[in-house]
Structure 1
Amino acid sequence: MSLTTQLAIATATVAATVMIHLTGLAGLLAILRRHRHASQLLIAFFVNGMAILLAAFGLFALPCRGNLALGGSLPAIGRLS
């Protein structure tokens, strides 16, 4: 494969990654913005925090889903293999 072809593939991969991340951030901002006008600030703070935690745990669960479906286990965090 030529260097130009490799550069084109790498550029397309980076562009796709950036677009996926921007779409995810836009979705998270839409979730957080929906609760901006809540009547009680404490409830809005709690709901926004839960939305962020749900998004973070969802991102962690995505790679685990494939491992568990194949009979594997959860990834070892903090352990050198």
Structure 2
Amino acid sequence: MAFVNAQQAETKPQENSLLVAALKKSEESPGKSIFYINKTESNVEAVKKVPSENIKYVMVLTDDKIKKKLKEKGITQVVTVVTKN
């Protein structure tokens, strides 16, 4: 009978790469992004505070997918974050 020593490593939740890219784009062009958390308009700081393990999905709309009235205001991306709870 053999015994093996093992260590339990604390795993870091995987970040959503789409959200990371959208946040980076918003930092490069401030004021050109709109953020929603669970259908409520929010800001970039609130989105950054959402724990990655609580994110159900992220949707990013750009260019042709953005409504005309938002384009007229200079918006280049709409980021929607839906949480698990």
TM-score (structure 2 length as normaliser) = 0.29
Greater share of helix residues, 1 or 2? 1
- Which structure has more relative contact order (CA 8 Å, sep 6+)? It is 2
**Bigger fraction of residues in strand:** 2
- Structure number, greater radius of gyration: 1
